[in-house]
Structure 1
Amino acid sequence: MNTDNVWKVLIVGNSGVGKSSVLMRFVSNDFKEDVLATIGVDFKMKVLKIGDETHKLALWDTAGQERFRGLASSYYKGAHACIVMYDVADRASFDATLYWIKEVKDNCMTDPLFCIVGNKIDRRTPENQALCISAEEGRNLAMKHRCLFLETSALSNEGIQTLFNQLPGKLSEIFSKERLRPRPGVKLSDQQQKPHSLCPC
């Protein structure tokens, strides 16, 4: 049995998009309506058994508030994957997605796998659907920048297990020791030749 698969996964995005709630739902299957904003970073470890392999996800929930971003960015180094999260009912958080990708790439020192996640899909109702970011819009952004894409809801637990359970397999496919060496000026498109999808559809 291979027990050496330890993956560092960042979770970034604007404050209030539900990063901590998604992490709490995945790690402990718990959900709370009112979660305090993360100050700096929060760390959780989750062990997954996939086939005959054991994967350890080292999950770093980072602060989205501007005053804490400098502190949070110091934890980006060496990440294997980065979940960039937005709230489907918050256009500003979606527009900030590319800012977060650049922020991580500038501070990470490696070439992480990016996954764009539209969270709080429970907020997308027939009444406000026209105002929300559609799955198609989110998926198109992810494809354009060669990222994974998935939609989730911490409230209903939709998409949470799919998001985290499929990451180890994707990481095992694309990562090697050579790729993890720190290299200046690495571009995501240099090594990811085609977009991936976590979406079951």
Structure 2
Amino acid sequence: MDRLIFKLLFIGDSGAGKTSIILRYADDCFSSNAVSNVGIDFKIKTIEIKGRKVKLQIWDTAGQERFHAIAYPYYRGAMGIILVYDVTNRRSFENLSTWMRNIDEHASEKVEKILLGNKCDMEAQRVVSRQEGEAVARQHGIPFLETSAKNNINIDLAFHNLTETILLDIALERLTAKAEAAKEVKRLTAATDADSKWSSWCCYS
């Protein structure tokens, strides 16, 4: 059985909680003093979905504008992208359009995406409604969840759903390849049969 390695890339504004989400998922820890990432870092976690073991390479990118150029090469090879904004920071939400453009320009057309509205535990400080997040997700045709790294809300679910979707993509791709191969075999067999009949007719004549 093939060994599966999925590269997942986190993007979004600095301070949205990307690093905290990754640490919660990979190490089951949270620190309110977590320092925003200033470059590129990654964690590895192996999980099992539908009887398949999948190694996740989870890449954490800095959200600051000056680090965008560093992040661009890391879009290559990404099978899943987790786009994060902070529900208590409207600017991080408004900047989603810029991040989506970056995805369109630098990532594969086949990459799976999910949108996370993080820090949903901070209801008193919320400035972006759930409905607004859902609307953006619908606009781009991607799944949406509100999460809290602090209270571990929907963190596992986000990774599970994204990984499962990638697995389904791979399965569909393989089925499609097999179907195309079967069609090609059928075409070549028919062509060979036709050549054989033509040769037999020529010799008989």
Distance, in Å, in 2 between the alignment partners of 1:133 and 1:105 is 24
Distance, in Å, in 2 between the alignment partners of 1:50 and 1:178 is 19
Q: Which moved more, 1:66-75 or 1:154-163?
A: 66-75
Distance, in Å, in 1 between the alignment partners of 2:74 and 2:49 is 27
Cα offset, 1:51, TM superposition: 3.0
* 1:1-201 pair list within 5 angstroms: 2-125=1-124, 128-129=125-126, 132-175=127-170, 176=173
The amino acid that maps onto 1:171 is I
The amino acid that maps onto 2:157 is T
Question: TM-score w.r.t. structure 2 length?
Answer: 0.79
The amino acid that maps onto 2:45 is K
Number of matched pairs: 174
The amino acid that maps onto 1:166 is N
- Which has the greater radius of gyration? 2
**Alignment partner of 1:39: what SS?**
coil
Question: TM-score w.r.t. structure 1 length?
Answer: 0.81
The amino acid that maps onto 2:62 is A
Distance, in Å, in 2 between the alignment partners of 1:23 and 1:119 is 12
Contact 2:114 2:162 in 1 (8 A): no
RMSD: 1.8
Question: Where in structure 1 are there 5+ consecutive unaligned residues?
Answer: 180-201
Question: Where in structure 2 are there 5+ consecutive unaligned residues?
Answer: 177-205
Distance, in Å, in 1 between the alignment partners of 2:174 and 2:59 is 21
Distance 1:177 1:17, change over 3 A: farther
**Alignment partner of 2:68: what SS?**
helix
% identical equivalent positions: 34
